[in-house]
Structure 1
Amino acid sequence: MTTHLSPVWQRKAASSDRLARISARFLSDIPETPGSEGTCQTIPFLLDNAGQSWVTHDLCQVLSQRGHKSMLCHLDEPWTGEPRDLSSEPGARTKGNRYCLVPVTSVETVRAARFDHIVLLVPASLEGVRAAYRRIKLLNEEQPVETGIVIVGPRDQHAAWRYFRKLAVASLRYLDVPLLNLGFLPEQVMPQHGPVNHHRKNFLARISERLVRIGFYLTASDRSATG
């Protein structure tokens, strides 16, 4: 079963070194992140549809409850401004917060904002996997985008792993894009099955812990500095 929990699918040439760095961060209580002290770090999320907004809303609450004060930041969609780097531009409204979660629904917004890392929410279905693959392909056309995956709505952990594996294998084989497994949210904790409860919070807590401990909120330049 331990192989089912492995969070990383990497390019073969870089896998051992990259995995070692990720593992070191994952096991560290407090990741060493240059320049992150007192800075609000951006974590962009690409939703499959607007109905998944509950994930970022609840995850923001869980992060704050776990001592990582967070807030939601919404970008205008469709994007109407000139392309510019927003990865380190949360603004004064984020003062006092550690993380800024940015949910968007279009690839165009991610590309226009020039995010170099993204959390992709993938519905637990073959069509959801196909749609995610197409999005990953579009995201990486202009620049590499480090992509973390959360499978939403699988029956159980085995189903979540199967969907992630299908997507990760195709992405690595045909696009040369490695994916990071950030976890899953089973169908039992979906909003249609009831209000927020401790089961949903537990799954969200696991995702939040991975995001924080592996430093997924960092930009590519920051990651290179910590490597």
Structure 2
Amino acid sequence: MKTILITGATSGFGEATARKFAAGGWKVVGTGRRRDRLRTLQQELGDAFLPLEIDMRDRAAVESLAKLEGPWSEIDLLLNNAGLAPPTDPLPKTEWDRIEQVIETNITGLVALTRVLIPKLVERKGQVINLSSVAATYPYKGGAVYAGTKAFVRQFSLDLRSDLAGTGVRVTSVEPGMAETEFTIVRTGGDEAASEKLYAGMKPMTAGDLADLFWWLANLPPHLNINTIELMPVSQSFAGFTVSREA
């Protein structure tokens, strides 16, 4: 039986992936900040799920995941899914605490966890899937900090694969576009109307779509590695540049 460790398992992509892999016969270690949601997911998934209340900004807690015991210690797949974004205000108007929270979660915590789990992943010829974003490639107003962190994740994934060449460990950067989860609600401080407006009139990707993708990546023949994969809903594209014109 294989084991996946999912960060940010309390909602969105992480929660859907926990269900997908548990249904597929995997053991699932799920981390998150919301204890109540972890308990609910444990009640649903039973013995296949180990809930761990961890904030990715807590380096000691993150690194303790390398010390799990028993079958939970045999990690075959690390899904670095946890992440968030500050509001889409211009950089000078964004509070520093929000900027720091995003960098510590999206970059520092991800690197710290990956670093301590590498020996186990090498031992088991495992896999790392890092959640980046199309924002790593296509800029937009108000995205400087978030997009910057996701560009880091994308490049980190490529260089990590270089570091692990010859070990049998697979590394993939997954770069999705618009997907309807709690992401925008969290970003706007709980503004559900803003989220509904963003996705109105289109058919965005779902958390289930991404869970299916992660499952596909995990079950590819072990001699195949997808370096990067970018995906968008059909109704979204990268067409056009913003041009400021004189009145």
Query: What band does the TM-score fall into relative to the shorter chain?
Result: 0.3 to 0.5
Which structure has more RCO (C-alpha within 8 Å, separation ≥ 6)?
1
TM-score, structure 1 as length reference: 0.45
TM-score, structure 2 as length reference: 0.42
Larger Cα-atom Rg? 2
